[in-house]
């Protein structure tokens, strides 16, 4: 059990979506919030909402894709707060398309934010947590990192890397009293699609449709994350569909990838996927 009450928590990507819902869930537990985002205005808005709930903290501007900025952020919070108990590496971006069609700049962009951003957070916060005698790392991956969904190779690859990094850290950091949780949600509605890069109109329409019909909200995902951290769980896969397909992939990998290939065979497969998304069957 890890008690979150009163903890000092730094969250990246805190200007929107899950990064905004988590501070609000934690504010009601008396946590102090470092709301960090590349968009400082949105980080400030999050902090105002935290304060409206009786919480406290600080808004901070950071680009997680720049190591010197992440190091400065770690230095800032450890010095001004006297320590940081929990780091949530949440900032993320998405690009879609087929390998070969996705521009290399988009691959680099997704890796810079989703993989290097998480790694920089770990690199600069973990030695400080070790020195203070403990802490907690929450890495926001995605069910995409477990399920390798179609037309999302850069996103899948970065999220799978974040899962692997988190699993490694779980064993490495246990002797230092530092817990690790990897967060792997399916789709939930946020601003993620505002910055999404895509290579054709189908991908945009499919993503927007799945977001519109998503059954779980960012607030519900945030509550699932809080519960998982308090229980010290390595993985949190909040939606049933994510847990189901992850189990199917492990038990019957040939069938699972064959089924994905079926949807990818021709235009009919794509139209079927879109129809399923419109019926709320892709969650
Ligand atoms: N929404 C979903 O369906 C979904 C599903 C699985 C995983 N996730 C993951 O959840 C996390 C949060 O995403 P969200 O859906 O809340 O999206 P969001 O777009 O609503 O929020 C992401 C935040 O990250 C910030 N950000 C982007 N690049 C940054 C950078 N370089 N440095 C600092 N901040 C940066 C954005 O300004 C934004 O405020 C991401 O890691 C995402 O991959 C989302």
pTM over the 0.95 mark: yes
- Helix (H/G/I), strand (E/B), else coil: 90: coil
The residue whose CA is least distant from atom 43 of ligand 1 is: 92
78 located within any domain: yes
How do residues 198-211 score in pLDDT, each as one tens digit? 999 999 999 999 99
Ligand 1 within 6 A of 78 CB? no
Ramachandran assignment for 254, one of left (phi > 0), alpha (psi -120 to 50 degrees), beta (any other)? alpha
Q: Distance between CA atoms of 202 and 272, rounded to whole angstroms?
A: 12
Q: Is 124 a catalytic residue?
A: no
Q: What is the Å distance from ligand 1's center to 243 Cα?
A: 21
123 located within any domain: yes
Q: How high does pLDDT run on average in the chain? A: 96
How do residues 164-216 score in pLDDT, each as one tens digit? 999 999 999 999 999 999 999 999 999 999 999 999 999 999 999 999 999 99
For residue 146, give the CATH number of its domain. 3.40.50.720
Q: What is the Å distance from ligand 1's center to 13 Cα?
A: 6
> In which domain, by residue range, is 48 found?
8-202+215-241
223 located within any domain: yes
Q: Distance between CA atoms of 80 and 77, rounded to whole angstroms?
A: 5
Ligand 1 within 6 A of 61 CB? no
Structure tokens at 169: 């850290």
DSSP string, 179-192: EEEEE------SSG
Among 136, 155, 198, 256, the active-site one is 155
Q: Beta partners for 60?
A: 36
The atom of ligand 1 lying closest to the CA of 19 is 16
Q: Distance between CA atoms of 200 and 178, rounded to whole angstroms?
A: 43
Domain count, the chain: 1
* 140/28: higher pLDDT: 140
Query: Given this model, what pLDDT does residue 139 score?
Result: 98
How do residues 30-89 score in pLDDT, each as one tens digit? 999 999 999 999 999 999 999 999 999 999 999 999 999 999 999 999 999 999 999 999
Count of CB atoms within 10 A of residue 168's CB? 12
Q: Distance between CA atoms of 184 and 136, rounded to whole angstroms?
A: 17
Rounded to an integer, the average pLDDT of 219-227 is 98
């Amino acid at each position: 059990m890890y008690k979150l009450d009163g903890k000092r928590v730094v969250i990246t990507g805190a200007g929107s979506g899950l990064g905004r819902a988590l501070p609000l869930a934690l504010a009601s537990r008396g946590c102090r919030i470092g709301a960090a985002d590349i968009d400082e205005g949105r980080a400030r808005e999050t902090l105002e909402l935290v304060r409206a709930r009786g919480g406290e903290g600080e808004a901070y501007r950071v680009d997680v894709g720049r190591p010197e900025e992440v190091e400065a952020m770690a230095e800032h919070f450890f010095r001004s707060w006297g320590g940081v108990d929990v780091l949530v590496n949440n900032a993320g971006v998405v690009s879609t398309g087929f390998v070969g069609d996705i521009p290399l700049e988009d691959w680099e962009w997704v890796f810079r934010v989703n993989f290097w951003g998480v790694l920089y957070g770990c690199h600069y916060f973990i030695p400080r947590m070790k020195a203070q005698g403990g802490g907690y790392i929450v890495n926001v991956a995605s069910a995409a990192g477990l399920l390798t969904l179609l037309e999302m190779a850069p996103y899948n690859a970065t999220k799978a890397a974040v899962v692997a990094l988190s699993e490694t850290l779980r064993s490495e950091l246990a002797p230092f009293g530092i817990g690790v949780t990897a967060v792997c949600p399916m789709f939930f509605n946020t601003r993620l699609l505002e910055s999404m890069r895509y290579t054709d109109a189908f991908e945009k329409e499919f993503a927007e449709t799945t977001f519109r019909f998503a059954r779980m909200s960012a607030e519900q995902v945030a509550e699932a994350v809080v519960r998982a951290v308090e229980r010290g769980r390595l993985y949190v896969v909040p939606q049933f569909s994510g847990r189901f397909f992850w189990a199917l992939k492990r038990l019957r990998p040939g069938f699972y990838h064959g089924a994905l290939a079926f949807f990818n065979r021709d235009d009919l497969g794509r139209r079927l996927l879109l129809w399923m998304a419109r019926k709320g069957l892709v969650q």
